[in-house]
Structure formats: C-alpha cells, structure tokens
Amino acid sequence: MRWREQGKASDPSGYIDRTGRIVIKCDGDDANIRMTAQRCQGKFADGFVMAEVEIFRCADEPGNPKQYPCKGQWINRIGFYDKTGRLAIPGPYWSAGAVSRFVDGLAGVQVFGTNQKGFIDTSGRWLINPQFDQVTSFSEGLAAVRTGPAGWGFINKRGDFVIPAQFVSVNSAGFSGGLAAVSVDGKQHGYIDRSGRFVIQPRFKDAGPFSEGLALVCCDEDRLRYIDIKGNWAFDLKLSGTVWTDSFIDGVALAELERGQLVYIDRTGRIIARRDDSK
C-alpha cells in the first residue's frame, strides 16, 4: 500500500505492509538505486511495480540521467522495482502506457526505441517475443493483443492465438468471470466466452468487465446500467454523463452520482454510504 506524508516541503512517500510498517521510502536521489517520490505512484502486482527509471536526459551528457534544468530530451524509460525498492528488471522498456503489470508471472512490455511489444517473466527474460502492436495484461490465462490490420485477438501463455484477431476493440481488463467485452465494428459492444463466441450479443455503446457477476454497460436512455452474466439488466443508476464507477469488491462499489457526489452502492444499486471528501 502507498502512503504520502502531507504538509511537508518534500511530501515524502513510500509503501507500507499490512502491519503499517514502512517497507520502502521513495526518497532516493538516484532512480537506478531507489524510487524517488515522483516515481512512487504505482500498485504492486506479483511482487513488482512498474515505474519510470529515467524521465529526462541532458543532450550534452548522453547516458547520464539528470533532471531539469538542462537542455535535453524526454526519455520515459520504464523498469520494474521489487518490494525492497530495488530496480530488479531495468529493461529498458518504453512508455508506461505500453507496459502492463505482472499477472501470473508475465508482463507485457514495449522494447525501448521500437513499436514492438511482447511478454517477459519476472526475471526479465522474453517468454513471448516482441511481435505485437498492442498488448494487455493476462487475465484468466489469456491476453488481448493487436497486430496489423486484422485487429485484436487473444493469445495463451505460449503466444498462440486461441481466439483469432478479428475485433476492432477489446476492454483492457480482458477476461473476467469467463467473459470479455469486445466490439467487431467499434460501435456496438458485447461479450465473448473463451471460445470467441458471443454469449451476450453486441448492443452496448460501451461495456466494462465483469466483477462479482455484474458488469457496467452504456447506455440505456443515456443511463449507465449493470447487467448480469446472462445479459439481463441487474439494476441501473441515474448517473451523469461524465461519471465513473469502480468494480464490485466484497459486494460494494464506489460510484459517482450527479453533481460529483461519491457514494458506495451494494449489488442491488442501493446507496449504503456517502463519501465526504471535503475534510
């Protein structure tokens, strides 16, 4: 878990364990040795957290990571830190947006200086060689990947396509509850099973992943609504057009209602608590 001490000039931050003990202080000056406070932002997964190793490089000092001010260029080089704060997998990999978290020992990464992406194990070794234009994290043993004009498909941990590339878009969460949200035309979204067969036909403008048997979809009369795994309406929330909701965890989800009000809801859509961020 991350923490940040407010009210201090430097706002030190770090990670704590379940007892509240500080395990990592993100206050190092050398990004290749310790995570700095600016890099202490990610969530750990499978024992690793991805973070920027080198953000900026001075043009007149190649190979020497250095912060502003100086004349130089943005680098945005990514690596993986372990739970001691050590840069365990230096990469280099390119761009946080092209790097996925570790799931079941695999993480999708982009080779620094190229557009190609593949999957590494926790030692940094390539298990699925860089060959894709886009990748997502594995979920339930499959990962969505895109290559060339064919679109998105799903591969297994050997890198073999088990669902051929055929979709214009897929939800980045991948499979959850045995279903994945995809679209064949970019307009209507539905849900496929692990064979690639639509079990909930495309009829939504957008569709989120399932969590505890429910998924958020858009839109029914401009309202976000929840469906069950059979595609039936579970309940609806009269949410504004720019709101969001978290996945259900232990039967509770955080949602934003009209006028920016944050509430907690149960699996029937009933508001069970309101969150006050004014304090």
Q: What is the 3-state secondary structure (H, E, C) of the chain?
A: CEEECCCCCCCCEEEECCCCCEEEECCCCCCCCCCCHHHCCCCCECCEEEEEEEEEEECCCCCCECCCCCCEEEEEEEEEECCCCCEEEEEEEECHHHCCCCECCEEEEEECCCCCEEEECCCCCEEEEEEECEECCCECCEEEEECHHHCEEEECCCCCEEEEEEECEECCCCCECCEEEEECCCCCEEEECCCCCEEEEEEECEEEEEECCEEEEEEECCEEEEECCCCCEEEECCCCCCCCECCCECCEEEEECHHHCEEEECCCCCEEEEECCCC
Q: Percent of the chain beyond pLDDT 90?
A: 38
pLDDT at 221 over 50: yes
pLDDT in tens, 80-133: 888 888 888 888 887 656 778 899 999 999 988 788 899 999 999 999 999 999
* pLDDT recorded at residue 255: 83
Does pTM top 0.75 for this prediction? yes
Rounded (10°) CA dihedral 159, 161, 166, 172? -50
For 258, phi and psi rounded to 5 degrees? -60, 150
How far is Cα 263 from Cα 258, in angstroms, rounded to an integer? 11
pLDDT in tens, 48-79: 888 777 666 666 555 555 555 566 666 667 88
How far is Cα 101 from Cα 43, in angstroms, rounded to an integer? 9
* pLDDT recorded at residue 163: 97
235 close to 245: Cβ distance less than 8 angstroms:
no
Distances from the Cα of 145 to the Cα of 11, 131, 215, angstroms? 39, 10, 22
Place of tokens 């498909």: 153
Q: Please report, as a single letter, which amino acid is at residue 271.
A: I
Average pLDDT, the chain: 80
Could you tell me the two tokens for 209? 């992943």
Place of tokens 């790097």: 99
CA-atom Rg of the chain in angstroms: 21
pLDDT at 222 over 90: no
* pLDDT recorded at residue 32: 44
pLDDT at 139 over 90: yes
